[in-house]
């Protein structure tokens, strides 16, 4: 963790150890690159424009967090909770979101190129205009997900589950990619 962030957290009284309670914290624009935030409670935190490159957010709770325009390239979010989180315009290139709960999250205009979303729950999520080129969405739950205008070229959608309310990009054939309607 960088020195500025340690100083910032000391002033604000935030605990820096993995598993800390940073719920509701205003960390807007802070550099958390390479930080170990495993099991940390960041629910409702403001992390807009924050740098979380290669951060370990394994099993972190980011429910309702504001991550607008945040950079999470190569971040580890395995098992994290992002229910209702706002990740619009965020850069998640190459991030590991395996098994992540993104129920009703906003990922509009997000960059998810090459991201691992295997078994992720994207039910009711907004991925309008998102860049998902080369993303792994196998076994993902896409029930009621809005993928309008998303770039899904090269994606793995093998056994991803979707329903009649799932919105796909114009001309996209989910069955041809191995997705299953439920």
Residues 41-72 pLDDT 10s = 999 999 999 999 999 999 999 999 999 999 99
**Contacts with 77 (C-beta within 8 Å, 6 or more apart), sequence order:** 57, 58, 60, 95, 96, 97, 100
b/e map 8-23, b = 16+ CB within 10 Å:
ebeeeeeeeeeebebb
Contacts 24+ apart (CB under 8 A), 168-175: 172/147
pLDDT at 178: 95
* Start-end of H helices in the chain: 3-12
**φ/ψ of residue 51, rounded to 5:** -100, 115
Model confidence pLDDT, tens digit, residues 82-111: 999 999 999 999 999 999 999 999 999 999
pLDDT at 155: 87
pTM: 0.90
1-182 sits in which CATH class?
mainly beta
Q: Taking 50 as the threshold, does the pLDDT of residue 143 lie above it?
A: yes
Question: How is residue 36 written in tokens?
Answer: 């170990």
Instruction: Supply the DSSP symbol for 142.
Output: E
CB–CB of 16/36 below 8 Å? no
């Amino acid at each position: 963790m960088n020195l500025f962030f340690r100083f910032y957290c000391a002033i604000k009284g935030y605990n820096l150890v993995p598993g800390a309670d940073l719920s509701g914290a205003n960390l807007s624009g802070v550099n958390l690159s390479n930080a170990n935030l495993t099991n940390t409670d960041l629910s409702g935190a403001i992390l807009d424009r924050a740098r979380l490159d290669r951060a370990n957010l394994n099993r972190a709770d980011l429910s309702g967090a504001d991550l607008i325009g945040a950079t999470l390239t190569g971040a580890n979010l395995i098992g994290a909770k992002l229910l209702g989180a706002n990740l619009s315009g965020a850069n998640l290139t190459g991030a590991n979101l395996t098994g992540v709960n993104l129920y009703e999250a906003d990922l509009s205009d997000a960059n998810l190129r090459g991201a691992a979303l295997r078994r992720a729950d994207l039910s009711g999520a907004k991925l309008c205009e998102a860049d998902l080129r080369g993303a792994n969405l196998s076994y993902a739950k896409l029930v009621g997900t809005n993928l309008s205008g998303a770039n899904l070229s090269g994606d793995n959608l093998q056994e991803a589950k979707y329903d009649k309310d799932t919105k796909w990009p114009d001309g996209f054939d989910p069955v041809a990619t191995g997705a299953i309607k439920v």
